[in-house]
Amino acid sequence: MAAVATCGTGAGSTGSVVAAGSKNHVTSFQRRGPRASGSDSSYSRLVSIAGTRPSVRNGQLLVSTGLPALDQLLGGGLAVGTVLLIEEDKYNIYSSLLFKYFLAEGIINGHTLLVASAKEDPADILQELPAPLLDDNFKKDFDEEACNHKTAESNIKMKIAWRYQLLPKMEAGPVSSSRFGHYYDASKKMPQELIEASKWHGFFFPEKSSSTLNIEPCSLTHGYIKLLQFIQNIIYEEGFDGSNPQKKQKNILRIGIQNLGSPLWGDDICCTENGNSHSLTKFLYVLRGLLRTSLSACMITMPTHLIQNKAIISRVTNLSDTVVGLESFIGSERETNPLYKDYHGLIHIRQIPRLNNLIYDVSDVKDLAFKLKRKLFTIERLHLPPDLSDTVSRSSKQDLAEPSKLLGPGCGVMAGGKKHLDF
């Protein structure tokens, strides 16, 4: 059941004035909002930074991940100062797509980009970014598709299947006048002039690996040390942390790191079980320290399915703020499973941070699947198809029961369950 959401989800709030605390160092974890007492002269009312909006729950500044459906699942967006870890799918198809959406969102909003990769040149990555969907072009195509499905507008009350009215609606189409979160056409490339107008820094590890280190050898691998120094340099030089007196920066730095932990970075945790087990975790810790003290947000894709030592995965999860896992059906036996025939993979929201709060926005929907349609990447709730077979055979029920067992306990971010209740 795809119900089209006709109203924007609080998109009008981007115009609100956000007061940013501009003390000696800029931390994004300060409560933003109009100061009633207004005593401190260093607080200044400034126009909101493009592409950000305050969270409705705790006033935390959020940026879009490039996928409005994912933003909704993460509680409105990615908080500035945090790390979003994407656990790559097996062949790194959809995770690199999410990576490109993240960068494309940065270009559209005018954020500064920092792209780090050990596999591809960042300039090549930027050439491959998807083009943004402008509302008027897309609306025509979307209306055509909408006629093919049975859609219910939200202001028509359902008479028979009224329980479905209460289901949470996923955003399926572009919302008009949304300045936060855009839709992208995966089949077209971003126009060259937009890329050239944007400000970006690239870190391509094979080019930088030869220069010498000026830091004492600690247990970090060479690649990670160089990357950390590069990031810290950019943050300081461009003034994202507010410590540089010459530069007053009021923009977001989007950091994208691709395939972190893969052997191309010089790390051997994907090759052997007794590798350098502290290099990656130390890197993540110092990176998070850098992010917390600056106006930046980071997306990392990591091939966790290759990591041999499972303890490292749990440590990495604890050290990241938001963790999303992608599981694609390509090459697995689920590709032919009738349960999954409409979708390309599952998406697991493994962890959402509780920032400045005891509670957090967690979606009730735990069984989520994604599909890459002709233009859009959509995330939907996974439904069990109705059992319409004439002969209720044992074998067909077994096939469907197996994957539903995996869905049953859910991928709880609050609680992981092991036992499956058989009713």
Partner 1 sequence: MFPELNNLLNTTPDRAEQGKLTLLCDANTDGSFLVHHFLSFYLKANCKVCFVALIQSFSHYNIVGQKLGVSLTVARECGQLVFLEGLKSSVDVFFRAQAEPHPLQFLREANAENLQPLYEFVREALKPVDDGEAAWRCPVLLVDDLSVLLSLGMGAVAVLDFIHYCRATVCWERKGNIVALVHDSGDTEDEENNILLNGLSHQSHLILRAEGLATGFCRDVHGQLRILWRTPSQPTTQRDQSLTYQYKIQDKSVSFFAKGMSPAVL
CB of 383 to partner 1, least distance (A): 18
Of 176 and 219, the one with the shorter C-beta distance to partner 1 is 219
Of 10 and 416, the one with the shorter C-beta distance to partner 1 is 416
CB of 222 to partner 1, least distance (A): 13
Of 103 and 319, the one with the shorter C-beta distance to partner 1 is 319
281, exposed or middle or buried, with CB in 10 Å at 0-12, 13-18, 19+? middle
Of 166 and 359, the one with the shorter C-beta distance to partner 1 is 359
326, exposed or middle or buried, with CB in 10 Å at 0-12, 13-18, 19+? buried
Of 17 and 215, the one with the shorter C-beta distance to partner 1 is 215
Q: Where are the alpha helices (DSSP H) in 238-270?
A: none
What separation, in Å, do the N-terminal and C-terminal C-alpha atoms of the chain show?
Answer: 25
Strand (E) or helix (H) holding 315: helix 310-319
CB of 30 to partner 1, least distance (A): 6
Of 21 and 77, the one with the shorter C-beta distance to partner 1 is 21
Write the CA distances from 395 to 115, 389, 391, integer angstroms.
49, 12, 11
Residues lying near partner 1 in the complex (CB under 8 A) are found at: 27, 29-31, 58, 215-219, 228-229, 232, 278, 281-282, 285-286, 288-290, 292-293, 310-311, 313-315, 318-319, 354-359, 364, 366, 408-410, 412-419, 421
CB of 4 to partner 1, least distance (A): 26
CB of 111 to partner 1, least distance (A): 22
Of 245 and 386, the one with the shorter C-beta distance to partner 1 is 245
For residue 114, what are the contacts with CB-CB under 8 A and spacing of at least 6? 200, 201, 202, 203, 230, 231, 234, 253, 254, 255, 256
Which residue carries 């209460």 as its tokens?
A: 166
CB of 66 to partner 1, least distance (A): 26
CA gyration radius for the chain? Answer: 22
CB of 364 to partner 1, least distance (A): 6
Among candidate residues 245, 275, 246, 244, the one with its CA nearest the CA of residue 261: 275
CB of 138 to partner 1, least distance (A): 35
Of 23 and 189, the one with the shorter C-beta distance to partner 1 is 23
Strands (DSSP E) contained in 329-410 are 345-351, 368-372, 377-381
Fill in the amino acid letter for 178. S
**CA–CA separation, 92 vs 328, rounded Å?**
9
Q: Which residues of 93-128 are buried (b: 16+ CB within 10 A; e: fewer)?
A: ebbbbbbbbbbbbbbbbebbbbbbbbbeebeebbee
Question: What DSSP string describes 65-111?
Answer: -S-HHHHHHTTSSEETT-EEEEEPPTTSSHHHHHHHHHHHHHHHHT-
Of 235 and 369, the one with the shorter C-beta distance to partner 1 is 235
CB of 61 to partner 1, least distance (A): 13
CB of 410 to partner 1, least distance (A): 5
Write the CA distances from 220 to 64, 225, 252, integer angstroms.
31, 6, 27
**CA–CA separation, 387 vs 400, rounded Å?**
9
Of 44 and 219, the one with the shorter C-beta distance to partner 1 is 219
Largest CA distance in the chain: 76
